[in-house]
Amino acid sequence: MAEILVLAEHSGETVKKVTCELLTIARGFGEPAAVWVGPGAEAGRERLAEFGAVKVYVADGDDLDDYVVAPKAEVLAALMAAKSPAAVLVAATPEGKEIAGRLAVKTGSGVITDAVGLAPGADGPVAEQSIFGGAIIVQSRVTTGTPIVAVRPNSAPAEPAPAAAELEQFAVEVSDAAKTAHITERVVQERGERPELTEAAIVVSGGRGVGGAENFALIEKLADSVGAAVGASRAATDAGWYPHQFQVGQTGKTVSPQLYLAVGISGAIQHRAGMQTSKTIMVINKDPEAPIFELADFGVVGDLFTVAPQLTEEIEKRAGS
């Protein structure tokens, strides 16, 4: 069976959830081989094995991580030349998409980004995308070269299927051309223990109705009660109530969690474009006419300042009992 390369996303030795999802998807039409760039592969191997990686190609250079995306694209291009995989999958994070883009140019292959599903087809894998703010569903495929597909986190549940995850060192001499954008510092801003926004199974977002930065504590408490990530609408980030990197919407992050809880968000198209593919949507808003209710699987028309704390309390009560 043909090999499917899956670029492993990891922070240090910890494999991210999206990589387990991608391995699960890859099993549907080939033999998944993870690609590990940087140190930590030995420790990360176990989780890759659990989710079906038959092999793990390890490109472990000291400086691979010190430059913006170009070295990772070179590693993948070299692997594509050496292993002739049937497809290459990356996570559709901003960085993953950039890697996919550079790889497509290097190899002359077609690239599809933001797939929310990927299925085998007679002429290669068929990707499903949700476009124009979720209004249209498109099935597309790569017709030239090796399909390069960036798949959104939470597109498929990660299902274990143990495999060998045999480590294979793959030495790549990264060119000087790939070392021109030098990362000199990584600044970690406070996020606490919350999951990453695009990876989280549950996202709780606050909008204009939250009314101020100090009130976001309410959103955070609700999020923490269900182990969720916190998001914000553009109105909230533009007003400076919550940091910009947490913005969900057309000019911010796109999320498709199992559960999206929109609190005090009216649901302008700008916002819907970033969350419409969420599996289940819950809404708390005092305006019954708010367009976000059109998307709601469950909605409460009411004051978020009483409904949200009551919900938090109820969740904690149930967790405690």
Partner 1 sequence: MNIVVCVKQVPDTWAERTLRPDDSRLDRASVDGVINELDEYAIEEGLRLAEAHGGEVTILSMGPDKASESIRKALSMGAAKAVHLIDDGLAGSDALATSLAIAQVLGRTGFDLVILGSESTDARMGVLAAMLAERLGVPQLSLASQVDVDGTAISIRRQADYGYDTVEATLPAVVSVVEKINEPRYPSFKGIMAAKKKPVETLSLADAGIDPGQVGLGSAATEVVSFAKRPPRQAGTIVKDEGDGGVKAAEFLAAQKFI
List binders of partner 1 among 41-100 (CB under 8 A): 68-70, 73, 93-95, 97-100
**What three-state secondary structure class fits 244?**
helix
Instruction: Work out the burial of residue 136: count CB atoms within 10 Å of its CB; fewer than 13 is exposed, 13-18 middle, 19 or more buried.
Output: exposed
Locate 217 and state its tokens.
């504590």
Mark the segment that binds partner 1 (CB under 8 A) among 45-53, 54-62, 131-139, 156-164: 131-139
Distance CA 31, CA 251 (A): 36
Mark the segment that binds partner 1 (CB under 8 A) among 37-45, 155-163, 208-216, 293-301: 293-301
Closest CB 165 distance from partner 1, rounded Å? 26
Note whether 282 binds partner 1 by CB under 8 A: yes
Closest CB 29 distance from partner 1, rounded Å? 15
Cβ–Cβ < 8 Å for 22, 89: yes
Among 138, 171, 213, 217, binds partner 1 (CB under 8 A): 138
Q: Which is nearer to partner 1, 84 or 245 (CB)?
A: 245
Closest CB 41 distance from partner 1, rounded Å? 21
Mark the segment that binds partner 1 (CB under 8 A) among 24-32, 45-53, 206-214, 245-253: 245-253
Pick from 205, 193, 85, 197: nearest CA to 152: 197
Phi, psi of 242 (to 5 degrees): -145, 145
Q: Which of residues 174-233 bind partner 1 (CB under 8 A)?
A: 177, 180-189, 191, 196-198, 202, 226
The DSSP letter of residue 5 is: E
Closest CB 58 distance from partner 1, rounded Å? 23
Q: x/- site string to partner 1, residues 298 to 317, per CB under 8 A?
A: xxxxxx--xxxxxxxxxx--
Closest CB 28 distance from partner 1, rounded Å? 17
**Distance (Å) of CA 68 to CA 72, 135, 142, 171, 254:** 9, 33, 26, 19, 22
Among 144, 162, 166, 213, binds partner 1 (CB under 8 A): 144
Residue 234 Cα to chain centre, angstroms: 20
Q: Which is nearer to partner 1, 49 or 261 (CB)?
A: 261
The DSSP letter of residue 153 is: T
**Count of residues binding partner 1 (CB under 8 A)?**
98
Closest CB 101 distance from partner 1, rounded Å? 3
Cβ–Cβ < 8 Å for 235, 208: yes
Q: Which is nearer to partner 1, 46 or 297 (CB)?
A: 297
* Residue corresponding to tokens 């919350």: 194
Closest CB 173 distance from partner 1, rounded Å? 17
Among 106, 194, 208, 221, binds partner 1 (CB under 8 A): 106
Q: Which is nearer to partner 1, 26 or 292 (CB)?
A: 292
Distance CA 237, CA 59 (A): 38
List CB contacts of 185: < 8 A, sequence separation 6 or more.
Answer: none
Pairing relation of β-strands 148-151 and 126-131?
unpaired
Locate 261 and state its tokens.
């809880």
Cβ–Cβ < 8 Å for 128, 139: yes
Q: x/- site string to partner 1, residues 1 to 40, per CB under 8 A?
A: ----------------------------------------
Q: Which is nearer to partner 1, 61 or 110 (CB)?
A: 110
Could you please report the per-residue DSSP string of 46-77? HHHHHTT-SEEEEE--TTGGGBSSHHHHHHHH
Among 28, 212, 244, 287, binds partner 1 (CB under 8 A): 244
